[in-house]
Each structure stands twice: as C-alpha cells, then as structure tokens.
Amino acid sequence: MKSAIFALALLHPPTEVPDGWTVKQWNQFVASAKLGKVILEQKDIQSYDATHAELTLTEDGSKKMRANRIPFGGKVFVITLGERRLLGGMFLEISSERPIRFPVGYWMDGGPQVILRLRPQHSVHNDTKVPEEFLPELDRQFSY
C-alpha cells in the first residue's frame, strides 16, 4: 500500500443535504464541510476492486460500519487520502428513489464482511461498472 493514509469520516454535525444539488454545489459543500468521526481507516480495507469501485472491508472494518449504523441512508461521508479530500458522498439504499446527482455509497452486508460500493451518482439500475476515470487514486492506493 502507498504512504498516504485512507480514511472515511462522517460530517460533524450530521448534515441534511437537498436532493436537487448539482455536482458543483456538492463539491463546494464537501470542500468546506467539517469532518467528524473517522469510521474506517486503511487497516479496515481488505481490498479495492477498481472495475466496480468496491471496497471489501475486513471483519473489524465491517463491525465498525455496523456499530455506527451506517446502512441507514442520508449520512454524508468524506474519503480522504492523507490531508486530501478525495470524495464526498452520501450513504443511500440501493433501492432509493431519491434523485441524487452526486457520489453515493451503498453497502452490501450479506456475510461476515461488508462491501462498500461507491458510485459517481445514484442510479436505481445499480450499474456494476463505473467509468475508468472514477477514483483512480483509490486504485493506486490499494494496488499491491
């Protein structure tokens, strides 16, 4: 793994975000939002699948997600590499009908390990592949 340290943090205080925001409004918000509790760290990530933009969490990382009640939609998160804010998104249920046009995170929890699926925007079609230019930094961070 590379030297920059991965982290996923929630905002403090938790913030409600309007559904109709544009990507520009979202990016401005994420750039200045106050970060709160770090939920996941580099050691909580077992692997990253760049083709599908999926983080497979370790068992400890999965326990952290469950303990923080992350599956419930609407919580805003920010992924950082070192001091750099790489991506801000909103946890959302895959079946949600909310018209979200900025990044989202879905989580799959069907076993001992949680899979966190990141998407550039919400789609009820839940496309399994993402554009190649989406999060190349994470691919580099978790490539061995």
**pLDDT at residue 86, as a whole number:** 92
**pLDDT at residue 35, as a whole number:** 93
Q: What is the pLDDT of residues 5-49, one digit of tens each?
A: 899 998 888 787 887 888 899 999 999 999 998 999 999 999 999
Look at residue 2 and tell me whether its pLDDT is greater than 70. Answer: no
Residue 24 lies in a domain: yes
Residue 132 lies in a domain: yes
Sign of CA dihedral 31, 96, 22, 49: positive
- Let me know: does 26 contact 88? Beta carbons within 8 Å: yes
Tell me the β-bridge partners of 108. Answer: 115
Considering its fold, how many domains does the chain have in total? 1
Q: What is the pLDDT of residues 48-81, one digit of tens each?
A: 998 889 999 999 999 998 888 765 677 899 999 9
Residue 45 lies in a domain: yes
Residue 95 lies in a domain: yes
- The residue segments making up the domain with residue 128 are 6-141
Residue 125 lies in a domain: yes
Tell me the whole-structure pTM to 2 decimals. Answer: 0.87
Tell me the CA end-to-end span of the chain in Å, nearest whole number. 6
Residue 1 lies in a domain: no
**pLDDT at residue 80, as a whole number:** 94
**pLDDT at residue 1, as a whole number:** 39
**pLDDT at residue 71, as a whole number:** 55
Contacts of 141 by beta carbon, 8 Å cutoff, 6+ apart? 1, 2, 4, 6, 48, 81
